[in-house]
Amino acid sequence: MLTRDPDAFFAYAETLPLNATSTCAKSAFLVSPVGFRLSEQSARDNRYMQNALGADAETAMTEHLALQAAISKCLPVVVFNGDRQTPDAVFPNNAFAVTPSHLIIGHMRHPERQQETAREDIRAYFTETMGRALHDLSAQPGICELTGSLIIDRGRGIGFCGLSDRCDTIGAEAMHAAFGLKACLMFDLAPGEYHTNVLLSVLASRALLIAPGGFADPGIAQAITAFYQGRAIVLNEPQKAAFAGNGIALSDNDVFLSSKAAASLNDSQRMQLAEYGFRLHQVPMPMLERAGGSLRCCVGEIY
C-alpha cells in the first residue's frame, strides 16, 4: 500500500505484526569529511545551512572522528573516505541504503550529490564484498533521497515519506518498491523543509521524535503520534532547528543526537526518553551541522 490517505494507511498498519529483532541496524557506515565545505547547490533548498559561518575541514574531521568512536561503542562501523568534489558526502544516509538483500542508490536532486552516488568504491564494497544486489534508482525519473525523505519503521516494514523538492511521488513509489515496504504514507512537508528526517525519527519501532511544525498538515503528525500510542517526544520550532528531530536509535536502548540537539531537550523530554527505555548519547558536531544536517544524516545503516 502506497497512499496519501492516513486513515487507510493506519487501518492497514494496525494489522501488521512487529518483528522485534529487526528494529535497528546491525552495523553502520560513515563517509569522512575530507575537504569539508558548504555546498552552494544544497544551500538553494536547505534552510538549515549556516553558510555565513563558513567551514573548517580540520574541525569537521575532529568531530567526525568523535562520532565514529561514539557509534563504534554500540555498533561496528565502516568508514569511507570523503571526496573534495562531493561536499555533502558526509551525509550518506540519503544517497545509499543497505538492506539485507540490496544496496539501494538514491536519485539525488543536485548534481554534486548525483556525482556522489556514482562512486564505484562504495558500490563495490556493498555489492562485491558484502554480496548485496544493486538496486539503482539514480537514473529513474523521480527524485528520491532515500532515508532523508523516507522514515522507515523497520520492525513493521512501513514508511513515512515526506514530499518536497528532494522527493516527489514518482521517487516515493520507487523507494516503496526498492525497500520492499508493506505500506507507505506520503504527505507534504511544510514550505521550506527539505528532508523528513529533520522532523521525524522512529526509534526502534516504539517511539518517536517528531516536530509537527515541519508537516504541511499537522494532522498527519498527530495521526503518526497516535499510532505509536502517544510515545513521542514532541519538538517545538527551536528544537527542530537545533536538529532534535535528527536522531537515531542504534540499538533497542541507545538513541544518538548531536550535543546541540540534546541540549535543546527539556528535563521532561529527557525523562520521556528514559521511560521509553532509551539511553541518550550525544556527540558534539557544530561544524558538521553548518552543512545543514546532523547526526542521523551522517549515519548510513546496514541491515
- Residue 200's pLDDT band, with cuts at 50, 70 and 90, is very high
Q: Region 239-265: what's the mean pLDDT? A: 98
d(CA 160, CA 168): 13
- pTM of the model as a whole: 0.94
| Mean pLDDT rounded to a whole number for the chain | 95
For 34, 57, 86, 160, 206, the CA distances from 83, given in Å and listed in that order, are 6, 12, 5, 31, 37
Between residues 231 and 40, which one has the greater pLDDT? 231
Would you state the pLDDT for residue 156?
97
Is the pLDDT score of 87 beyond 90?
no
| Strand 232-234 relative to strand 279-283, pairing | unpaired
pLDDT at 8: 98
CA–CA distances in Å: residue 131 to residues 15, 20, 147, 158: 33, 25, 21, 25
Which cell numbers hold the place of 99? 538492506
CA distance linking residue 206 with residue 111, whole number of Å:
37
Mean predicted confidence (pLDDT) in 64-91: 93
Domain ranges of the chain: 2-284+292-302
Whether the pLDDT of residue 49 is over 90: the answer is no
**Strand ranges of the sheet holding 158-163, from the earlier edge strand across to the other edge:** 2-3, 183-188, 158-163, 150-153
pLDDT tens digits for range 110-155: 888 898 999 999 999 999 999 999 999 999 999 999 999 999 999 9
Reported CATH class of domain 2-284+292-302: alpha beta
pLDDT surpassing 80 at residue 43: no
Which pLDDT does position 38 carry in this prediction? 84
- Across residues 151-166, what is the average pLDDT? 97
Could you count the other beta carbons within 10 Å of the beta carbon of residue 226?
12
- Segment 6-39, tens digit of pLDDT: 999 999 999 999 998 899 999 999 999 998 888 7
Mean pLDDT of the region 213-227? 97
Return left, alpha or beta for 98; rule: phi > 0 is left, psi -120 to 50 is alpha, else beta.
beta
Mean pLDDT of 214-226: 97
- β-sheet with 254-258: strand ranges across: 248-249, 254-258, 279-283
Query: With 90 as the cut, is the pLDDT of residue 50 above it?
Result: no
Q: How far apart are CA 184 and CA 61, in angstroms?
A: 36
Find residue 300's DSSP bridge partners. 29
Looking at the chain, the whole-number percentage of residues with pLDDT higher than 90 is 87
Q: How confident is the model at residue 208 (pLDDT cuts 50, 70, 90)?
A: very high
pLDDT band at 197 (very low <50, low <70, confident <90, very high): very high
Q: How far is CA 272 from CA 136, 210, 264, 281, 284, in A?
A: 39, 13, 14, 15, 22
Burial (CB count within 10 angstroms: exposed 0-12, middle 13-18, buried 19+), residue 156: buried
